């Protein structure tokens, strides 16, 4: 991955550290928007599962326009609008990336809108379809539902899979947002226990699927809210605590607890990884999903964007604009 950023010191460093022309199978992209994810914060702190070699630039997903192609590139051409999955280094004016990890943006989808899709909607589709095998009519509980991934889960579950969604959030303002975005019911877990609130909505039967990005006590209460043969998918630990799974809870109701490490699919099962991104672009073009952009920051305000995410002020996707 190659990046070019503003500023004499960074430009000098990166010029001496990276190649500056796309070689065989690689493409140079003019970056317009880059998504901000909690994983970017963790990797900058050295707390993420992956630790890129220094120096690096944050940014896992971006949209832009193809500037130049190397030899043997057949998937895109100069001038094409694309989204890319960069691993890290997307928050830069330009990047050089393998053609395998670029997808063309269809007509009718803007560069800004497309940049919201890879991480949040890729995660939502993999979690709901591939991992939890969510069926029409089932009830899905999603935690941190007003975040980018949470809103994507609501969007996919209701509009693509015809499931019912209970959205769990931490404020009245976020309650209003998730209901506007399609959740059938909402729980404000800042006002009491999640398990009891869910029980009031669905009774003792429980929910079929949980998509959890919070961890800690929220995860444990969500686990206890599952129905017979329910499935809980662990996506992240935004709450900062990793809970231990009580195995007896899995046994009593024959429930399944599973993980979803979205970016790992790029190496371990690329066909599924690619298919989810292609599907997200198609659904967006068809108007079947409606990505929510909560805030856009200029590149020089990237620290403000990170604080916006860290302090849980964000709703939906936070983007960095490079133009």
Q: Stretch 274-283: mean pLDDT, rounded? A: 97
- Residues linked to residue 232 through DSSP beta bridges, in sequence order: 210, 257
CA distance 107 to 77: 16
Would you say residue 11 has pLDDT above 60?
Answer: no
Backbone angles phi, psi at 186, to 5 degrees: -140, 145
pLDDT tens-digit series, residues 89-109: 789 999 899 999 999 999 999
Torsion over CA: 241, 247, 249, 253 (sign)? positive
Tell me if 269 is assigned to some domain: no
Contacts 24+ apart (CB under 8 A), 65-69: 65/29, 65/30, 65/32, 65/111, 66/27, 66/28, 66/29, 66/30, 66/102, 67/28, 67/29, 67/30, 67/94, 68/21, 68/22, 68/27, 68/28, 69/22, 69/26, 69/27, 69/28, 69/99
For residue 76 the two structure tokens come to: 């895109």
Name which of 30, 1, 49, 108 is nearest 242 in CA terms: 49
pLDDT tens-digit series, residues 191-226: 889 999 999 999 999 999 999 999 999 999 999 999
Tell me if 22 is assigned to some domain: yes
168 falls in which pLDDT band (50, 70, 90)? Answer: very high
The overall average pLDDT reported for the chain is 90
Would you say residue 87 has pLDDT above 80?
Answer: no
Q: Stretch 239-248: mean pLDDT, rounded? A: 88
Tell me if 151 is assigned to some domain: yes
Q: Could you tell me if 189 and 306 lie in one domain?
A: no
Q: Stretch 128-147: mean pLDDT, rounded? A: 97
pLDDT value at residue 2: 40
Would you say residue 13 has pLDDT above 60?
Answer: no
Ranges 10-14, 136-140, 260-264: which has the least confidence: 10-14
Other beta carbons less than 10 A from residue 236's beta carbon:
23
State the residue for tokens 């990047």: 95
Other beta carbons less than 10 A from residue 283's beta carbon:
20
Range of the domain at 80: 2-116+292-321
239 falls in which pLDDT band (50, 70, 90)? Answer: confident
CA distance 232 to 322: 37
16 falls in which pLDDT band (50, 70, 90)? Answer: very low
pLDDT tens-digit series, residues 297-320: 999 999 999 999 988 888 999 999
10 falls in which pLDDT band (50, 70, 90)? Answer: very low
CA distance 12 to 225: 54
Tell me if 309 is assigned to some domain: yes
Other beta carbons less than 10 A from residue 323's beta carbon:
12
Tell me if 187 is assigned to some domain: yes
Beta strands in the chain (DSSP E): 2-4, 26-36, 61-69, 81-85, 94-98, 102-104, 139-142, 164-169, 185-188, 207-212, 226-234, 256-259, 293-298, 317-321
Per the CB < 8 A criterion, the answer to whether 88 and 94 are in contact is: no
State the residue for tokens 């190659």: 2
19 falls in which pLDDT band (50, 70, 90)? Answer: low
> Under 8 Å CB-to-CB from 214, ≥6 apart: which residues?
143, 144, 236, 237, 238, 239
Q: Stretch 116-144: mean pLDDT, rounded? A: 98
Tell me if 286 is assigned to some domain: no
- Residues linked to residue 141 through DSSP beta bridges, in sequence order: 166, 210
CATH number at residue 69: 3.90.180.10
Would you say residue 8 has pLDDT above 70?
Answer: no
Q: Could you tell me if 49 and 182 lie in one domain?
A: no
Q: Could you tell me if 111 and 140 lie in one domain?
A: no
Torsion over CA: 237, 128, 152, 182 (sign)? negative
Q: Could you tell me if 221 and 145 lie in one domain?
A: yes
Overall domain count for the chain = 2
Tell me if 46 is assigned to some domain: yes
Q: Could you tell me if 99 and 123 lie in one domain?
A: no
pLDDT tens-digit series, residues 24-81: 889 999 999 999 998 888 888 888 877 888 888 889 999 999 999 988 898 999 999 9
Other beta carbons less than 10 A from residue 121's beta carbon:
28
């Amino acid at each position: 991955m190659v990046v070019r950023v503003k500023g004499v010191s960074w430009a000098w460093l990166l010029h001496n550290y990276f190649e500056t022309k796309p070689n065989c199978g690689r493409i140079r992209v003019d970056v317009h928007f880059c998504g901000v994810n909690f994983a970017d914060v963790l990797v900058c702190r050295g707390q993420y599962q992956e630790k890129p070699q220094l120096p690096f630039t944050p940014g896992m997903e971006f949209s832009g326009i193809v500037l130049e192609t190397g030899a043997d590139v057949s998937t895109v051409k100069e001038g094409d609008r694309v989204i890319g999955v960069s691993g890290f280094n997307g928050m830069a004016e330009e990047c050089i990336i393998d053609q395998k990890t670029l997808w063309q943006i269809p007509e009718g989808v803007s560069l800004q809108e497309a940049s919201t899709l890879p991480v949040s909607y890729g995660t939502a589709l993999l979690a709901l379809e591939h991992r939890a095998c969510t069926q029409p009519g089932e009830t899905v509980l999603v935690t941190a539902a007003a975040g980018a991934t949470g809103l994507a889960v609501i969007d996919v579950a209701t509009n693509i899979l015809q499931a019912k969604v209970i959205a769990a959030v931490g404020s009245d303002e976020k309650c209003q947002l998730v209901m506007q975005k399609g959740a059938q019911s909402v729980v404000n877990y800042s006002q009491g226990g999640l398990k009891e609130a869910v029980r009031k909505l669905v009774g003792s039967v429980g929910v079929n699927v949980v998509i959890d990005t919070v961890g800690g006590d929220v995860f444990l209460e969500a686990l206890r809210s599952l129905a017979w043969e329910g499935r809980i998918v662990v996506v992240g630990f935004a709450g900062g605590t990793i809970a231990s799974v009580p195995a007896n809870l899995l046994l009593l109701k024959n429930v399944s607890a599973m993980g979803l490490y979205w970016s790992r699919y790029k190496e371990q099962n690329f066909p599924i990884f690619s298919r989810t991104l292609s599907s997200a672009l198609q659904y967006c073009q068809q108007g079947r999903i409606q990505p929510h952009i909560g805030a856009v920051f200029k590149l020089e305000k990237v620290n403000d964007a990170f604080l916006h995410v860290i302090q849980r002020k964000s709703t939906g996707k936070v983007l960095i604009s490079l133009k």
